[in-house]
């Protein structure tokens, strides 16, 4: 996805992470400002749209949520292909879910290189007293792999808006950097005139004497 002629950035963002870490809850909090709405959580949307205006730049986010396939280890490249950004969610009270984030980072970097902006979300901070994933470990890991790290609570609506806003800003920056690289690359292309058509005196003209 890229920028439409109208100047609107169209970005695809995927939510990834173990089952039950709160991916759907974060999305519904962000889009609908709701939590634990049974009607909405059973909706199992493929993606939801959000329009933003950041410093006069129009952005359309298509935020993709899983339909629960992660519970069967059945989420593959079809889900995350062409993504501009990924939100890797873990539950701060569940160490295994943090391990799963590390697996996703490896897979995304291998498959998409640095084309994708990575953001890690430690969700359920309202359960801080039950935390098992050490704060420093999560933050230094994110730093090492070049990802932003946010703490969120879909339940209490903490950090959710900031997470999406920061990711969107970074995607715009990344897009503008790539566009600049393309301009530089194009300006280095040397345009060569078409070759002149062969004349009668050329050796291939059939005038050979022997």
Contact positions toward ligand G3D, by CB under 6 A? 17, 19-25, 36, 41, 123-124, 126-127, 153-155
Nearest distance, CB of residue 10 and ligand G3D, angstroms: 24
Q: Are 3 and 64 in contact (CB under 8 A)?
A: no
Interface with Mg ion, residue 123, by CB under 5 A: no
Find the shortest distance in angstroms from Cβ 24 to ligand G3D: 3
- Calpha distance 209→107 (Å, rounded): 67
Specify the DSSP class assigned to residue 27.
H
The torsion of the CA quartet 5, 8, 10, 11, rounded to 10 degrees, works out to 140
CB of 8 to ligand G3D, least distance (A): 28
Task: Supply the minimum distance, in Å, between the C-beta of residue 4 and ligand G3D.
Answer: 30
Q: Choose the contact partner of 21 out of ligand G3D, Mg ion, none; CB within 5 to 8 A by kind.
A: ligand G3D
Element (H, E) at 48: strand 47-54
Give the nearer residue to Mg ion in terms of CB position, either 47 or 141: 47
> Is 186 buried (19+), middle (13-18) or exposed (0-12) by CB count in 10 A?
exposed
Which of residues 9 and 29 has its CB atom nearest to ligand G3D in the complex? Answer: 29
CA distance 114 to 140: 19
Task: Report how far residue 153's alpha carbon sits from residue 91's, in angstroms, rounded to the nearest whole number.
Answer: 10
Tell me which of 11, 24, 104, 159 binds Mg ion, using CB under 5 A: 24
Residue 148 near which of ligand G3D, Mg ion, none (CB within 5-8 Å, type-dependent): none
Residues that bind Mg ion (CB under 5 A): 23-24
């Amino acid at each position: 996805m890229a920028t439409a002629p109208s100047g609107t950035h169209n970005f695809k963002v995927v939510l990834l992470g173990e089952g039950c870490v709160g991916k759907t809850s974060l999305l519904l909090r962000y889009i609908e400002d709701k939590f634990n709405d049974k009607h909405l959580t059973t909706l199992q949307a493929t993606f939801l749209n959000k329009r933003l205006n950041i410093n006069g730049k129009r952005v359309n986010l298509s935020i993709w949520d899983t339909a629960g396939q992660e519970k069967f280890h059945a989420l593959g490249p079809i889900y995350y292909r062409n993504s501009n950004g990924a939100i890797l969610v873990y539950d701060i009270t569940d160490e295994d879910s943090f391990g799963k984030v590390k697996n996703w980072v490896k897979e995304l970097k291998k498959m998409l290189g640095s084309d994708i902006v990575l953001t890690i979300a430690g969700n359920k901070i309202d359960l801080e007293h039950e935390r098992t994933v050490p704060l420093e470990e999560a933050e230094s890991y994110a730093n090492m792999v070049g990802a932003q790290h946010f703490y969120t609570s879909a339940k209490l609506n903490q950090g959710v808006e900031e997470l999406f806003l920061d990711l969107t800003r970074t995607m715009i920056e990344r897009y503008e950097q790539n566009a600049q690289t393309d301009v530089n690359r194009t300006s280095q292309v040397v345009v060569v005139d078409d070759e002149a058509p062969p004349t009668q005196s050329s050796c291939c003209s059939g005038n050979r004497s022997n």
